[in-house]
Amino acid sequence: MKNLFAKLKEEKRAGLVIFLTCGDPSMEFTEKLVERVCKAGADVVELGVPFSDPMADGKTIQMSSARAIKAGATFAKVLDLVARLRAKGIDKKFVLFSYFNPIFHYGTARAAKQSKEAGVDAWLVVDVPMEEGDEIRQYTTPLGIDFVPLAAPTSSPERIREISEHGSGMLYYVSVAGVTGARTKLPDGFQSRMQAVCKASKLPVGVGFGISTPQMASAVASVADAVIVGSKFIDTVYKTYVEKGEDAALEAAENFVRPLAAALKK
């Protein structure tokens, strides 16, 4: 991930990170969706591993995970998806976004080894705090897989620095207290808070939870290194898929991502 953020700095723009749930509504559709998202301007794709109890996520991603599980999505199938995308020449960064339970049941060492073989660049394990991260990093770090840490809006500058020192790739900053979900505006005092976060972090900072429009993305890009969008993207794509079918959903995805990517110049 380090080389990506160096490139973004040269280009004077923030990176665009798009989150999607693998297998919603099918793994075949997800494969096409990732290709379209990368073509439209995403720098990083967070590949959500479906989980039955996604406690950090709001209704949109909860329902997305439930649909994916019902359709037969598994940790192994997500890794197979990554391998197929790499074989097609997709070179954007892939972050495997998961709760620890699917990784633990798959086998952490095995999951790390096969992630590397498939072409995963980083892991983000949302329910593993800094103090327990070594249980994962002992397997990912030797393989060159970044371990993306999370920081909350309640984290002090000292805590943010410590969290960033125990991770790699980027720091995922949760912009609001609560769960994921599209919102209509950024929190009060966001700009000054982000200046403090970026000063404290030893890693590039990506901001997620609630960003839903190019205008919000532009405001985040003015102070952060990356903008992370998930719930609004999933809502838009799935609604179009249900109402108009696969081709229209893929077009809607591209039309959603392009203006976001264009809004990230610093």
Asked if residues 207 and 194 have their Cβ atoms less than 8 Å apart, the reply is yes
Find, among 78, 110, 109, the residue nearest to 94 by Cα.
78
Asked if residues 208 and 151 have their Cβ atoms less than 8 Å apart, the reply is no
Q: Does 91 participate in catalysis according to the annotation?
A: no
Asked if residues 202 and 160 have their Cβ atoms less than 8 Å apart, the reply is no
Please give the structure tokens belonging to residue 38. 């990368």
Q: Which of 57, 121, 146, 235 is catalytic?
A: 57
d(CA 148, CA 124): 5
Q: Please name the helix (run of DSSP H) or strand (run of DSSP E) that holds residue 174, with its range, or none.
A: strand 171-174
Please give the structure tokens belonging to residue 184. 């209509």
Q: Which of 24, 46, 146, 235 is catalytic?
A: 46
d(CA 36, CA 26): 15
End-to-end CA distance of the chain: 20
User: Residue 239: how many CB atoms within 10 A of its CB?
Assistant: 12
Q: Does 134 participate in catalysis according to the annotation?
A: no
Q: Please name the helix (run of DSSP H) or strand (run of DSSP E) that holds residue 226, with its range, or none.
A: strand 226-229
User: Residue 103: how many CB atoms within 10 A of its CB?
Assistant: 23
d(CA 96, CA 78): 9
Residues with a catalytic annotation lie at 46, 57
